[in-house]
Amino acid sequence: MKLIKTLNNLGLLDQTILPQNLTRTLLTSVVVILLSSGCSLLEISQQSEGVNQAGTISGHVDIESGSDAPVTILLFTKQEFAPKLERKYVLQGAGEFRFYAQEGTYYVAAFQDTNRDTLYQQTEPAVLHGGTDLFNAAPVVLQSSGHVELDRLVIKGPIANQTNRDNISFEIEQDHTGEIASLDDPRFSREIGSLGLWKPISFIDQVGIGLYMLSSSEAKRIPVIFIHGAGGTPLEFVELVNSLDSKRFEPWVLHYPSGLRLDIVSDYLVKSINQLETQYPFDNFYLIAHSMGGLVMRSTVKKYTESEHHPVIGLTMTINSPMDGMASAEFGARSSPIVIPSWRDIAQNSEFLRIIRDWPWPEEIPYHLVFSYQGGDSDDGVVDLESQIPLSLQAEATRLYGFNAGHATILTNPVFIQRFQNILNNSLL
């Protein structure tokens, strides 16, 4: 019962997708999760520990090649006959990068994609960490939960004789950046959303993280990126997506395991935005986030604006987001027999919150702050008003909008949907 009580106090989690009978449904879903075949407290704990043991490899890329082409940074492991690509990170120019990875030995390279085809040609400017040959670069040894800061990588020009192939296609399994999908895709089911919260490693192995397009990209349309919250999926945004003017906007949806640390998610989103701008050039884009997704969004804007970039963030919106954290998550991180990694970031006074909260919002980026309450209550059934609209964010926001709706039902509220349409349409005036 102690576990059930603790998880009930953490109402932020499954309630982001369950509009009715929140407490009873949450308790039922927790019992089902813990008692269903293939899922146990031990398994959830092991997956959480696996996420916590991830380390980081970071560095900075400088450009002296004379080219202004985007940069792709690559993280390899060494196989018998060829390197295996584990991660990639895309920048629009010189800047910082960071990889999250498990303990192991890695190799790092970077190249400028001068023809924007996502392939590496030997004629393109490139650099390898600690070497000049693709198969004999200096190893980067990462310890469990460790951090390695690389010396600056300087791209000066092409590297000769690194491979016998004219070009190399770099692909990563289960990275769905730019893939076209529909909202009725089984990968967006509520069961998958729950999997991503409780078992994020299984989510990555079985489903994969992705920034999906819901239609083919068209040059004249503005990408609108939707970011779900804890336990959620892109399916929650179906009515907002359907409300978009398809001649002027194109919906993209971020689908991620919400049990991950939020820095990992925002790093992925920044990388994916840069990658898609390389493939489908666009001038600006919008970010729309619900619940915990608002924290991911703010972290993304911070990282994106701190690096060299080309597209402008034309509009942002947080909807019922715990921007000042959750006391229940802080309690759970301290007291629960299982601790989902993202709880540590949602917790009030967490290091993650301190960093994004102390960072000043850029005045040139419109920020629409949406909150709701239920009847005369001081919360939306999940998040307190004090956390949805802290004073510091009220000062930063372009405008505040309040609605009488629940934490999840706000996304289907007709009054809010009409206001959402008006905000986006008026942004083009």
Q: Encode 126-174 in three state secondary structure.
A: EEECCECCCCCCCCEEECCCCEEECCCEEECECCCCCCCCCEEECCCCC
| Domains defined along the chain, listed by start | 55-169 (2.60.40.1120), 186-426 (3.40.50.1820)
Q: In the numeric block, which tokens belong to residue 198? A: 């409780």
The pLDDT assigned to 142 comes to 92
The residue written with tokens 């078992």 in the block is 199
Going along 216-341, which residue ranges are E strands?
222-227, 249-255, 284-290, 312-319
- Rounded to 10 degrees, the C-alpha dihedral 73/104/138/63 comes to 20
Q: Which of 357, 347, 213, 374 is nearest to 299 (CA)?
A: 357
The pLDDT assigned to 334 comes to 64
The pLDDT assigned to 240 comes to 98
Q: Which residues of the chain have pLDDT under 70?
A: 1-42, 79-83, 133-136, 160-174, 309, 330-338
The residue written with tokens 């804890």 in the block is 230
The pLDDT assigned to 429 comes to 73
The pLDDT assigned to 282 comes to 93
Indicate the helix (H) or strand (E) that contains 401.
Answer: strand 399-404
81-113 residue pLDDT tens: 556 788 888 888 899 999 988 889 998 999 999
One-letter amino acid for residue 299 of the chain: S
Between vectors from CA 358 to CA 355 and to CA 359, what angle results, nearest 5°?
Answer: 85
The pLDDT assigned to 330 comes to 65
